C-alpha cells in the first residue's frame, strides 16, 4: 500500500511539473533592453493554439488608457489593456516550444513571427519575435506569475 501511495504522489508531482512547462498562464513581461517590468500577459489555449492578451500594465510611465495607434491591422486604435498580442502559436511535435503564430509589439505596431519556449521547468518563458528566420530577432524572458 505504501508503494502504491508513493507511486501516486510521484505521478501527481510529475504531472504538475509537466503542466507548468507550458506557456499557458499569467506572465510578467520584462523589457529585454531596459529590464523594466512592463505588463502581465495571460496566455490561454483554445483548439490547440495559444493566444496572449495584455491583462495589466505595470510600468508607471504607461498610460492605462493607451491605444495601439501604431498598429496597422484590426487592432489599430484598440485599447492596449485587453489587446491580443500573441496569436496562433502551436506546439512543435515534442512540445518543447510553440511557434507558427505571431506577436505584436504595441509600442511600434509591428507584428513578428513567434517562438515560445518554457525554461527552468516552466518558471520562465523565452519569447522570441523575429522576421524571416529565428536567427533574425530578439528574445525577452518573461516570468511566470501563476
- Write down the pLDDT at residue 93: 76
**116, 98 contact by CB (below 8 A):** yes
Q: pLDDT at residue 14 above 60?
A: no
Which residue range(s) make up the domain with 57?
2-144
> How far apart are the C-alpha atoms of 33 and 31, rounded to whole Å?
6
Distance of CA 93 to the CA centre of its chain: 19
Instruction: Give the CATH number, domain containing residue 69.
Output: 2.40.128.520
pTM recorded for the entire structure: 0.83
pLDDT digits (tens, 9 = 90+) for 99-141: 999 999 999 999 999 999 999 999 999 999 999 888 889 999 9
Is pLDDT above 60 for 3?
no
Domain count, the chain: 1
pLDDT for position 132: 86
Residue 141, judged by CB atoms within 10 A of its CB (0-12, 13-18, 19+), counts as: middle
Pairwise pLDDT comparison (58 vs 18), residue with the higher score: 58
In the prediction, which pLDDT does 20 show? 53
Q: Does residue 10 surpass a pLDDT of 60?
A: no
Q: Indicate if the pLDDT at residue 89 is higher than 50.
A: yes
Burial label, 16 (beta-carbon count in 10 A; 0-12, 13-18, 19+): exposed
> 68-80 burial, b for 16+ CB within 10 Å, e for fewer?
beebeeebeebeb
Amino acid at each position: 500500500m505504501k508503494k502504491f501511495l508513493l507511486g501516486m504522489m510521484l505521478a501527481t508531482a510529475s504531472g504538475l511539473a509537466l503542466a507548468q512547462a507550458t506557456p499557458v498562464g499569467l506572465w510578467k513581461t520584462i523589457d529585454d533592453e531596459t529590464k523594466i517590468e512592463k505588463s502581465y500577459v495571460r496566455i490561454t489555449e483554445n483548439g490547440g493554439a495559444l493566444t496572449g492578451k495584455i491583462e495589466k500594465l505595470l510600468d508607471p510611465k504607461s498610460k492605462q488608457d493607451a491605444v495601439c495607434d501604431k498598429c496597422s491591422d484590426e487592432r489599430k486604435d484598440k485599447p492596449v489593456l485587453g489587446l491580443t498580442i500573441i496569436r496562433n502559436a502551436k506546439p512543435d511535435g515534442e512540445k518543447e516550444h510553440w511557434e507558427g503564430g505571431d506577436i505584436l509589439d504595441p509600442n511600434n505596431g509591428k507584428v513578428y513571427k513567434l517562438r515560445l519556449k518554457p525554461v527552468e521547468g516552466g518558471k520562465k518563458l523565452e519569447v522570441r519575435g523575429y522576421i524571416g528566420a529565428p536567427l533574425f530577432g530578439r528574445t525577452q524572458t518573461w516570468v511566470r506569475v501563476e
